[in-house]
Each structure stands twice: as structure tokens, then as C-alpha cells.
Amino acid sequence: MSEASAKIAEVSLRRRQLAEFWFYFSQNRGAVIGLVVFILLVLIALAAPLLSPHNPIVQNRDALLVPPIWQEGGRAGYLLGTDAVGRDMLSRLIYGSQYSLFIGVVVVSIALVGGIVIGLLAGFFGGWVDSVIMRVMDVILAFPSLLLALVLVAVLGPGLTNAMIAIAIVYQPHFARLTRAAVMSEMRREYVTAARVSGAGNLRLMFRTILPNCLAPLIVQATLSFSSAVLDSAALGFLGMGAQPPSPEWGTMLAEAREFILRAWWVVTLPGLAILISVLAINLMGDGLRDALDPKLKRS
Amino acid sequence: MIRFILSKLLYLVPTFLGITIIAFSFVRVLPGDPVLLMAGERGVTPERHAQLSAQLGYDKNVVLQYFDFLGRLLHGDLGNSLVTKKPVLTEFLTLFPATVELGLCAIVIATVIGVPVGVIAAIRRGSWFDQISMTGALVGFSMPIFWWGLLLIILFSGMLGWTPVSGRINLLYFFPDVTGFMLIDSLLSGQDGAFASALSHLILPSIVLATIPLAVIARQTRSAMLEVMGEDYVRTARAKGMPPRRVIGVHALRNAMIPVVTTIGLQIGVLMAGAILTETIFSWPGIGKWMIDSISRRDYPVVQSGLLLIAGLVMLVNLLVDLTYGLINPRIRNQ
């Protein structure tokens, strides 16, 4: 077979795998709904400057705690009302989506890359390397994640960047463990021995030969971590340790709204609803991904 | 079995040492001088600074300091709070029952509802009950519980006026701490309405804290049941003509419970993280709120030792879960 036809065969194989994946993914109605909502969220985040009617951090002193438009006292121009210092809720919610998605992407990227490298090292070399790495991961996992993230932020100083780093550090052992387990089961396969015999170096074996075959569980874990990252960063924001005011981050918005819970339902209800909808959409997608990528479930 | 327990215990030693190293280095890597921090805003003279440094051992080499720290730890000395000046361990033990009470209530709610829901959803796979309960579980799993708590306060405390907003009991009632559990102490006190007051304070925080474990347990029970019901021995039992109730109760449920027990045990870490948020929202005087307050007050000895105690506790519970797992599943033991 010539090189060109080998390439074509590979492309058609990829396409067939993708089609098969989509077939199983689209069977799950919830997963498709989750995907649609998630795409909408991404679009909203990208088009935030175009969509939002007001500047999210400008305070309008003549419009404090204005209720949503359908309620008595609501004003045209403030569709979802305003908060205690007269900032437009809708605009803040729209800009908030940027924060959540950004946090999710950054946290998952750091945790994923770190976890893959550490897990590959542990699984590939085994022995004392494996023992040392896994004991360190056990130590991190012994702390409740939110608590460790909180303390890390206290050390690093409150703020969005530090919150993201802290959450990524806390999530990273999950990826390391998954990668290690997958690598260890792949190492026994013949194709790895074949690659080794034909002279592939350690790095090539690790990243080109083995890693691509370990990706399925990592993708599922990445989706789940994405939603947890959105939740945990909102929790840190709520506790005053994440994004700092006046950023329109949803958790921070909730923290600022706490004292008005019995007077102005919209300042409390809406940011939380935004968090719930985003997290739910991502989790729905994660369930669909797991079903589509897990060969054990495919036949059932 | 004894060998199994010993091997598990031995395995914990390096992890625990790692936890102490993290807790120890926490105060070391903090920006600022710990002596100045303890001296507060008034500051200290250079002589007093040197004296305090020597007294607290900060003039020694870091490794020696770590061993000092470890030695004190083994003697049960976890340092004193900078704010209240009381020993950290005493504070921890005073507040701990509040968190345990809340956590136990939450895990009981989560188990009592979650397991039956998961079992029924699995038996009636694809039915409306399955679909609704699993959608509900996914919503619960995705819930920002700090928001959920606020919503419940708006509804039950604000609009309906059924439950109080914060605390463990109405301040009108006063009785001695016997067990530290408000529900039991209020009953023992014999005062009219005390128990009802304690219960009404406990119910909303427990529901909030139970939400995520409930969702996890329901989902896990359902998938464990589905897996077990596809096994040969269940099919055999059915083929023998055994009544469905007995097939599910005796053959399926007992085996499906093995992973579920583990899941329930592993919720302790989730509960601790949830307790931080729940206790903050409901001003519940427990460990979670204590940690948050100490972090914002920069009371570092408390944060350091609190971290250590909580991680140690989570580790112990995980050990118990492992041992239970070995007890109900002999295959694990003999590996």
C-alpha cells in the first residue's frame, strides 16, 4: 500500500469512528440538549459585548434594585432588573458566562496536561517512580477539594487567577490516576511491545503510541471536571476567595446579593440559575460522552 | 483479615506524613513573618522578636522545625488560636459535634431516599419514574448548593415562615452540653419545644447538604442494580421460578449494595466540602464555618491544624470504608 492510500484509509477510519461516536451520542436526548445549551453559552460568551444592553460594571444610581420587567415596578431597558448598586442584571449575567467558560477551560487544561504527564510517568515507568507519584496524589486527594482550594487561595491571595490554579491543582490527581490506570492496561498489549521492538523511544512510546489509546476516560473526566470547576470557582467567588467584585462572576454576584435575599429575589435567583443551567448542560454532555465512548455500554 | 487491616494501616502512614508536610509547609510558605503576624498590629522590638522566634522555634533549621511540629502533634499539641488563644484541639472538639450532627442527618436523608429511588429506577428501567428521578438526580448533582440553600431560605423562612434562618436552636432555650448533639441534648433537657426548635433549625441545612450525596447515591444504586440484574445468577434465580421480589431482595440487592456502601462512605469528603458552604449560609457553628472564619481572620494555626484534623478524619473514614469493603467482599481481602 502506498503512503497516500494509507493516509486515505486512516482518514476514512477516523471519519467512521466519528460517525459511530455521533450515532451513540445523538441517541442520548439529554446529551444533545446539553450540547445545544453549551453551544448557546459559548455563543453568548463570545458575543457578550454585542448582546448585553448595558455595561456590566457601570452603576446607575437612579435604578437601584429595579425588579424584572414583568413585575410591578419593572422598567423598560432593564429586562431582568438591576442589583443593589443599579447594575443591569442581564448584562452581568451575559458577561458572567465568559468567566465560567474561561475558568472551565483553563482549569481543565492545566489539570489535564499535568495529570496526563504525571500519570504517564507513573504508569510507564512503574516501580518507585509510580509509588512516589501515587502517594503524593493520595495526599492531595485526602483533603476535601474545596477546602484545599480555599487554603491554597488563602496562601496565594484571593483572586480569579489564583482560584483557577488552586482548583486545577486539586483536580489534577484524578487525571493522573485515570491516565496511570489506562497506561498500565495498555502497556500489556502487543502493539506496545511491537513499537518497542521496532525501536521507538520512551517519549514516542508514551505520547504517540500509548496516550491516544487512553483518551476516552480522560475526555469523560475532563467534561465532569469542567462542570465541577464552574461550580467550585463559583463557590470560591461566593466565599469571597474567587473573582473579586465588581467582576460579574456568577458566584461573586451571589455573594454580593446575599443580604437582599428576602427583598429582591431576582438578584439571588438569576445568577444561581445561570450556574445551574451551565453545569447541568455540561453534565448532560458528559453522560452522553461516557455512553458513546465506553465500549462496554455500547451494546446494551 | 488482620493482615488485611495491617496492610491498609501501613499504607496510610506515608499519606499521613504527606498531609503533615502540607499542613506544616502551609504556614512556612505564607507571605510574611509568622512572629510579626502573631504579634499583631502593635509590632515588636527586635529583641522581643528574637526571643519569640527562639521560643517558637523559628530560628532553627526548617527540617528540625518540621520534626518539632511532628513531635508536638504526636503529643496532641496542635497549637493555639491567634484570635481566641485557646488550644486548637479544644476548639475543634467543641465545634465538631455540630458538623457531625449535620453530616449524619444529611447522609441519612441521602441514603434513605437515594437507595430506594435508585433500586426502583433500575427495576422500572425506562419508565416515567426512572426518567424523572434520574433527571432530578442530575439536577441535584449539578446544584450549586450555596444557591440552593439561599433559595430554600427564601421559600421556607422568608415566604412561609416555617423554619428559622440560622443557628442551631432558638436562643430562648438553654441547657448543658451533654453529647454536643443538639437533637439529643434538647430531648435530655426535657424542656418543652426545645427538640422541635432544634429539629426546625437542622432540617434545611441537612437537606442542602444531602442534595449532592443523594444524587450520587441514587445514580450509583441504579447503575449497580442494572449491572447485577444482568448477571447469570439473577437470571438463574428467575429461571428457577423464584418470585421477583425475592430475586431482587436477596440476589440482586445484596450484591448491588457492595459498591453503594463504598459510594456512601466516600461521600464524607463531599460532605466536608459541602459543610463549608452550608454552615456559612446557615451560620451553623461547626467546623466548616470555623475554617472559613479562620481563613478570613488569618488565624493560621487554626487553618493549619484544622486542615490536618479534617484530612486525617477523611483518611480514617476512607480506611473504615475500605475495611468494610473487605469485610463484605472477601475477594478484595485476599488480593
CA–chain centroid gap for A50, Å, is 25
- Does A262 contact B154 at a Cβ distance shorter than 8 Å? yes
Predicted complex ipTM: 0.85
Contacts of A143 in chain B (CB under 8 A): 19, 22, 307, 310-311, 314
Contacts of B221 (CB under 8 A, 6+ apart): B114, B115, B117, B118, B119, B122, B256, B260
The nearest CA of chain A is from the CA of B69 a distance in Å of 18
Sketch out chain A's domains with CATH numbers.
25-297 (1.10.3720.10)
- Does A146 contact B311 at a Cβ distance shorter than 8 Å? no
Contacts of B273 in chain A (CB under 8 A): 144-147
- Does A262 contact B158 at a Cβ distance shorter than 8 Å? yes
Work out the pLDDT band at B3, boundaries 50, 70, 90: confident
Q: Does residue B144 carry a pLDDT above 90?
A: yes
SS3 label, residue A53: coil
* C-alpha pair distances (Å), B170 with each of B97, B163, B191, B290: 18, 11, 12, 20
List, for residues A4-40, the tens digit of each pLDDT value.
777 777 788 888 888 888 888 888 888 999 999 999 9
Residues in chain B: 335
The mean-pLDDT minimum among A15-29, B48-62, B209-223 falls in B48-62
- Residues of chain B with pLDDT > 70, as a percent, come to 93
* C-alpha pair distances (Å), B60 with each of A215, B70, B156, B287: 48, 15, 56, 32
d(CA B143, CA B212) in angstroms, rounded, equals: 7
Q: Does residue B48 carry a pLDDT above 80?
A: no
Walk along chain A (300 residues) and give the pLDDT tens digit of each residue: 566 777 777 788 888 888 888 888 888 888 999 999 999 999 999 998 998 888 888 888 887 888 888 888 878 888 888 888 888 889 999 999 999 999 999 999 999 999 999 999 998 888 899 989 988 898 888 888 888 898 888 888 888 999 999 999 999 999 999 999 888 888 888 888 888 888 888 888 888 888 888 888 888 889 989 999 999 999 999 998 888 888 899 999 999 888 888 888 888 899 999 999 999 999 999 888 888 887 555 444
- Does B147 contact A154 at a Cβ distance shorter than 8 Å? no
List, for residues B242-267, the tens digit of each pLDDT value.
888 888 877 788 888 888 888 888 78
pTM of the model: 0.87
Interface of A with B in 193-252 (CB under 8 A): 227, 231, 234-235, 238-241, 251
Query: Scanning every residue of chain A, which has its alpha carbon at the shortest distance from the alpha carbon of B293?
Result: A239
| Grid cell locating A250 | 456568577
DSSP designation for B157: I
The nearest CA of chain A is from the CA of B195 a distance in Å of 27
- At B41 the pLDDT is 61
Contacts of B52 (CB under 8 A, 6+ apart): B35, B38, B39, B44
What rounded mean pLDDT belongs to chain B? 84
**Cα within 13 Å of Cα(B126), Cβ side:** 1
* A147 contact B CB<8A: yes
Which residue in A218, A258, A210 sits closest to A84, CA to CA? A258
d(CA A274, CA A98) in angstroms, rounded, equals: 12
- Does A261 contact B295 at a Cβ distance shorter than 8 Å? no
Query: Scanning every residue of chain B, which has its alpha carbon at the shortest distance from the alpha carbon of A277?
Result: B142
DSSP codes, B238-278: HHTT--HHHIIIIIIHHHHHHHHHHHHHHHHHHHHHHHHHH
Contacts of A142 in chain B (CB under 8 A): 15, 18-19, 311, 314-315, 318
Work out the pLDDT band at B39, boundaries 50, 70, 90: low
List, for residues B57-70, the tens digit of each pLDDT value.
666 777 888 888 88
- At A115 the pLDDT is 94
- Look at the block and give the residue holding cell 432530578: B136
